[in-house]
Structure 1
Amino acid sequence: MFLALAEELHFGRAAERLRISQPPLTKHIQQLEAELGVMLFDRNKRSVRLTASGSALVQEARRIIGQADMAREVVRRAEEGQTGTLRIGFVAALLYIGMEKLIARLERNLAGVETVWEEMGSSEQIEALRHDRIDLGLAQISPGASGAGEMSIHPIAHTPLVAALPERHPLAQRKRIDPADLAGEPFIVIPRESAPAYFDLIVATCLRSGFSPNVRHYARHLLSVSSLVALGRGVSLVPRTPERSQLPGVVLKPLAGEPAQAEYSVVWQTANRSPVVERALGVLGVG
């Protein structure tokens, strides 16, 4: 009301602009002057003028209104998920199976949102989600996975398993590898507590071929698995990766028959209705 009168300098026009009658406007100005202990307007029957105190209050009132408008805009953007922080856990395998485009799309379409990425195993992501240390997980996990009952899981990618062999291995010249030919070979795997789905997939593939894998070495990351293969410490079954991602000294060979598929999913707390999470899920195509 004060600013309307300060701009119109006429009680009738200010009241009309505010869509109120003149008496409530007059009463409001009188109460404001009494509260501040100063006269804000010089007024008589013919004119209304701002006092020095009134002019000073105009500047302050406009500043406060501008800040209030800015605060409303900040709140609106946060409500729409246009600002904030998104904490993302991811398995290293995603960097080696051609998922760069998906990650780049996520970054590009979350302009205004700060993304924080942290590499962690699939089971670690479930625990991090459960304890609110991350908002989204990109994990090797399938819908209905045990121990993830309160999580929502949506598949976003899958890739076949291939045999990873040292380049001087006797089987390295074959076009395809029958998993049964790896019986008795020392296997390098990621521990089950870090990547249960990946570990179980390797074991199931071997069992279907009539043998139990001779697990001799453990590594916590896919790159470490490949590094040990390159050093000749054993063989492994790994997700197929682009050729440019292969380490020197490692040969990747398709498996004979219908190979098992490693499935990767976006995982989040079902109860998490954060606007930033909702926006990220939309970018990932999760309805």
Structure 2
Amino acid sequence: MRAVGQGRAGSLTIGHNSSVSAGNLRATILAWQKDYPEVDFENVETDREALLAGLDNGEIDIAILIGEASHNGYRRELFWSERVLVALPSSHPLAERELIHWTDLRGERFLLSATGPGPEIRDMLLGRLSVAGMQPDVRMHRSSRETILGVLGDGLGLTVICEGSTGARYPDVVYRPIHSEQGPMLVGYSGYWYDNNGNPALQRFLKFIKTRHALFFNIHTNTIE
């Protein structure tokens, strides 16, 4: 019982709307499970609205989301940032470049999933590529990002992903980082939780995140040792 009260046992549910094939989210989850194997851990991948609803009804202890969501009483802290990349057919002329600028992507067709971070990436594309009243060609599909990546090699279009999705490889598809005028394009991953969630395992996880990523924020819950 003492281990549960200290957050070294018990249960913890983390929600996310991004891939864990690579990147900081994957590394953080694996390191947490290695350090705290007695915590019954569950991770839930679904879209932003479902994750926020899970926070509201207590099914999820913490959601780690790409971009920003309206607060509505949630506690929000930026955990880390990762690069944004374009996935394109290896036969595409841009595949010969080491990096891609936003201006290089004007006139291209983009295929995005209607779930996960797809809507957030669509908003990013609209903000970056809309010029003089013309909007980019963005097609939203009711399929997973993995399915979209699986068909890109046939030359159907491009897609934009975060670094956490680059752990999986697909036939005739390459990844190239996107740069803006200021350098590599980055997207933030933020944690959302309720301060009144008294789960000791959540407190322990937040302390773990703070230490691992050298962050500075207060944990407004019971002190854990």
Do both proteins adopt the same fold according to a TM-score greater than 0.5, normalized to the shorter chain?
A: yes
User: Alignment partner of 1:111: what SS?
Assistant: coil
TM-score normalised according to structure 2 size:
0.78
**One-letter amino acid of the structure 1 residue matched with residue 20 of structure 2:** L
Instruction: Please point out which of 82, 86, 89 is paired with 1:166.
Output: 89
Structure 1 residues 220, 198: CA separation in 2 closer, same or farther (over 3 Å shift)?
farther
* Cα distance change, pair 206–153 in 1 and its aligned pair in 2 (3 A): same
Paired letter, 1:185: E
Q: Does 1:114 align with 2:40?
A: yes
2: CA distance, partners of 1:125 / 1:202: 23
TM-score normalized by the length of structure 1: 0.63
Deviations along 1:21-43, one digit per CA (max 9) or x if unpaired, are xxxxxxxxxxxxxxxxxxxxxxx
2:29 & 2:132 partners in 1: Cα distance? 35
Counterpart position of 1:237: 160
For 1:187 and 1:166, the matched residues in 2 are separated by 12
Question: What pairs up with 1:72-111 in 2 under 5 angstroms?
Answer: 74=1, 76-111=2-37
Task: Give the alignment of 1:34-183 within 5 angstroms.
Answer: 74=1, 76-142=2-68, 145-146=69-70, 148-183=71-106
Stretches of structure 1 lacking an aligned partner (at least 5 in a row): 1-73
1:21-32 matches, cutoff 5 A: none
Give deviations 1:184-213, integer Å, cap 9, x for gaps.
Answer: 322112327865433322322223798522
Unaligned runs of 5+ in 2: 211-216, 219-225
Over residues 259-280 of structure 1, what are the superposed CA-to-partner deviations in whole Å (9 max), with x where a residue is unaligned? 4312112221232122121111
What is aligned with 1:276?
Answer: 201
Number of aligned positions between the proteins: 210
1:214 aligns with 2:137: yes
Q: Which has the higher helix share?
A: 1
Amino acid at match of 1:117: N
The percentage of aligned residue pairs carrying the same residue is 23
Contact 1:188 1:228 in 2 (8 A): no
Choose 1 or 2 for highest CA Rg: 1
Q: Which has the higher strand share?
A: 2
Change (3 A) 1:271 1:197: farther
- Asked whether the 8 Å contact 1:206–1:213 carries over to 2, the reply is yes
The residue type paired with residue 85 of structure 1 is S
Q: Which moved more, 1:221-230 or 1:160-169?
A: 221-230
Contact persistence 1:180–1:211 (CA under 8 A)? no
Secondary structure at the aligned position of 2:207 is classed as helix
Following superposition, the deviation at residue 115 of structure 1 comes to 0.6
| CA distance in structure 1 between the aligned counterparts of 2:26 and 2:43, rounded to whole angstroms | 14
Contact 1:105 1:283 in 2 (8 A): no
Secondary structure of 2:120 counterpart:
helix
| Residue deviations 1:141-172 (CA, integer Å, cap 9, x gap) | 33xx32x3221122222112122111111322
- Alpha carbons 1:140, 1:195 under 8 Å: kept: no
Deviation at 1:240, TM superposition (A): 3.2
| Farther-moved stretch of structure 1 (204-213 vs 262-271) | 204-213
Q: Which moved more, 1:192-201 or 1:178-187?
A: 192-201
2:151 to 224, 228, 231: 228
Q: Which amino acid aligns with 2:173?
A: V
Higher relative contact order (CA 8 A, sep 6+): 2
Distance across 2 between alignment mates of 1:275 and 1:209: 53
For the aligned residues, what is the CA RMSD?
A: 2.8
